[in-house]
Structure 1
Amino acid sequence: MTTIEAHAAEPRSRLEHFPISFFGVSMGVFGLALALHAGGFERASRATGWTGIAVLAVLFLVLGLKVLRHPAAIRAEWSHPVRLAFFPATSISLLLLATFLREAAPAAANLIWIAGAAVQGVLTLVVISVWIGHRAFGPGHLSPAWFIPAVGNVVAPLAGVPLGHAELSWYFFSVGILFWIVLLTLVVNRLVFHDPLPERLRPTLVILIAPPAVAFLAWIQFNGGTIDAAARILINAGFFFTALVAIQVPALLRLPFVLSFWALSFPLAAITTASFRFAALTGSDLHRGLGLVLLALLVLTILALAVRTARAAIAHQICQPE
């Protein structure tokens, strides 16, 4: 192959290997926008949210091109025991977009929420059907990324309840909480009694933070902002997993950069938002201060991830066959 032919073939190859896990970027950016909003930083929240919209539009455009030009690659990703779990990151991104737009553009947010909820509902059923079907899965296939398809349902009430979809939101919340308990048991068993996670999946440990933190935010939507015993259990479980993951951070930072590092962003945003909301509803200066510390860490994390992703893209180290 000549040099010209090689350069012409490269964009097609990179498109073919565009990973569905890239939607973790949009989840992280929207998570930051919501955390800034909860902290009272409205201008920064709006700017970040619109950046998230641009990122999500590009991701859906690239995904659409991949579906059209490389359907076999999409089927291979769907058949992969690890990558399968990342497909609902697309619908969760839509639900987060609806949450961001809920106050400024409720009509648009409602349409986006309905679309995101529909896709999330279908993907949850299909992915879980695959899990319990005839395909053989081993302990090595299990990671905290498995929380995404089922437990991601707890994101739906964040915008669903204020937009008037209370009963549908209860459905998604119920499914998410049920599978959080089931999958948490399986994941802890895998982490304790089986081989360590591969390097590329170790950053997904941070996902442990997201379910209780987002569930807290959803629960207070149902309760009209009341902090009861269930709310306290959920947010403190989120703080425990945050502390547990913090112990692992030095080891994670020694790993070579991979796209799964974006798994750090949304869970950190979720616990940051939860801390701000708890502070606002209870008047706790401790939780307000903790939220500010977490927000600073979140901003630094996303900036570092953006820089590392840009460097990896320039060096052609992403969207490459594994």
Structure 2
Amino acid sequence: MENSQEKNRLKFFPIMMYAIVMGLSGLTITYQKAALWLDFSALFGEVFMVLTTAVFAVVSLVYLKKFFKYKMAVANEFSHPVRVNFFAAVSISMLMLSIIYKESFPTISAIFWYPGTLLHFYLTMHTIAFWINKNQQLDHSNPAWFIPIVGNVLIPVAGVGFVDIGLLLYFFSVGMFFWIILFAVLLNRIIFHHQLAVKFMPTLFILIAPPAVGFIAYFKMFGVIDTFALFLFNLALFFTLLVLFMYKNFIRIKFFISWWAFVFPIAAMAISSMLIFHERGSLFLQLLSYVMLGAATVIVIIVAYQTILHIRKGEICIQE
């Protein structure tokens, strides 16, 4: 009986588990930058680096096992109108691990970056082709749609030094263009149609990520904070303030793995804040950096605790 239950758990192990790696990666990079720019101990970043890599390895091994044992279940996820977007969390996890290792271990960084970039290129093409070839219901649209397309903006963050800047600009352009398009679609759905399902409410935090990551990528490529860079940073700040203003929407919702969507965008905003503070320097930006770092840490603690609690209760890998 127990063995059968274990098999079912494996069958329903969701691709969304990679969102955990994205969240932990974001926190790792945040503490790495805090060590550089806010005089934090480098130990935090090193510990989180090991933890994030271990979680990525475990999630990957379990999902590979599912792939070999339950190919049809994986195929169903890959053709699901919502879950298909989370397959890009695999390549984004690899790209974020590349960012984590870039400064200390550039060879390991390259090992993650090249296959991560190729996989993300494929998933971008597959997702857009999927949307074109199959009619999408407006009710299926949610901020998770940003993951496969806008994830392209992450590629230049670790890619500087690996390939020509022209190629990095290709990915940056695609990500920024589709961010605008998808945001318009999403805003239309939220304002004029049905509200987001409760389980997708945490994904509203993803709205912060495109301008925040775009700001970091732009600075990495060009090394300047000009009008366009400030435009991106201010939009990221606006969406951060918006989700803070809407805090009542989040405090009583039931736990879902999608809660990990809270973490990565907040971490991206924390890194953006520290970067602009380092370059510009101001009391407001310093305060914002500490607040965002604290927020990212607290959210990870809460979400990790809830994840462990629900795994122990057997409420995670179950059929929906």
Aligned to 2:70: 70
**In the alignment, which residue of structure 1 is the partner of 2:101?**
101
**Structure 1 stretch displaced more, 165-174 or 77-86:** 165-174
Could you tell me how far 1:81 is from its partner in structure 2? 0.7
| Structure 2: tracts of 5 or more residues without a match | none
- Partner Cα distance (2:94, 2:103) in 1: 16
Taking the aligned partners of 2:44 and 2:214, their CA distance within structure 1 comes to 25
Distance in 2, matches of 1:290 and 1:163, equals 32
SS of equivalent residue, structure 1 residue 87: helix
Unpaired segments ≥5 residues, structure 1 = 1-5
1:75-94 equivalence runs, <5 A: 75-94=75-94
- d(CA) in 2 for partners of 1:46 and 1:194? 45
Residue 61 of structure 1 and its aligned partner are, at CA, apart by 0.3
Report Cα offsets for 1:154-178 as digits up to 9, x if no partner: 0111110143442321111111001
Q: Secondary structure at the match of 1:253?
A: coil
Aligned pair partner of 1:314 in 281, 304, 312? 312
Residue 297 of structure 2 corresponds to which residue in structure 1?
Answer: 299
Structure 1 consecutive aligned stretches of length 4 or more whose deviation exceeds 3 Å: 162-165
Deviation at 1:187, TM superposition (A): 0.7
2:171 partner SS: helix
TM-score, normalised to structure 2's length? 0.97
Q: 1:249 to 1:162 in 2, by over 3 A?
A: farther
Secondary structure, aligned partner of 2:162: coil
Matched residue, 2:17: 22
Partners of 2:247 and 2:257 in 1: CA distance: 16
CA distance in 1, matches of 2:95, 2:172: 13
Give, in whole Å, the separation in 2 of the partners of 1:231 and 1:79.
37
CA distances 1:162-205 after superposition (whole Å, capped 9, x unpaired): 43442321111111001001101101111111111111111111
Residue among 254, 260, 263 paired with 1:262: 260
Q: State which drifts further: 248-257 or 6-15.
A: 248-257
CA contact (8 A) 1:32 1:299 kept: yes
SS of residue in 2 equivalent to 1:147: helix
1:266-277 to 2 correspondence within 5 Å? 266-277=264-275
Greater mean deviation of Cα atoms: 309-318 or 39-48: 39-48
Alignment of 1:33-44 (within 5 A): 33-40=28-35, 41=40, 42-44=42-44
Please give the alpha-carbon distance, in whole angstroms, between the structure 2 residues aligned to 1:250 and 1:22.
26
Distance apart, 1:289 and its partner CA: 1.2
- 1:1-322 superposed matches below 5 A: 6-40=1-35, 41=40, 42-133=42-133, 135-224=134-223, 226-322=224-320
Please report how far the alpha carbon of residue 11 of structure 1 lies from its aligned counterpart in structure 2 after TM superposition.
Answer: 0.8
1:33–1:49 CA contact under 8 A, matched in 2: yes
Q: In angstroms, what is the RMSD of aligned CA positions?
A: 0.9
Q: Report sequence identity in percent.
A: 37
CA–CA distance in structure 2, aligned partners of residues 69 and 290 of structure 1: 47
Contact 1:153 1:176 in 2 (8 A): yes
Give the TM-score normalised by the residue count of structure 1. Answer: 0.96
Following superposition, the deviation at residue 285 of structure 1 comes to 2.5
Q: Contact 1:278–1:284 at 8 Å: present in 2 too?
A: no
Q: Distance in 2 between matches of 1:13 and 1:284?
A: 54
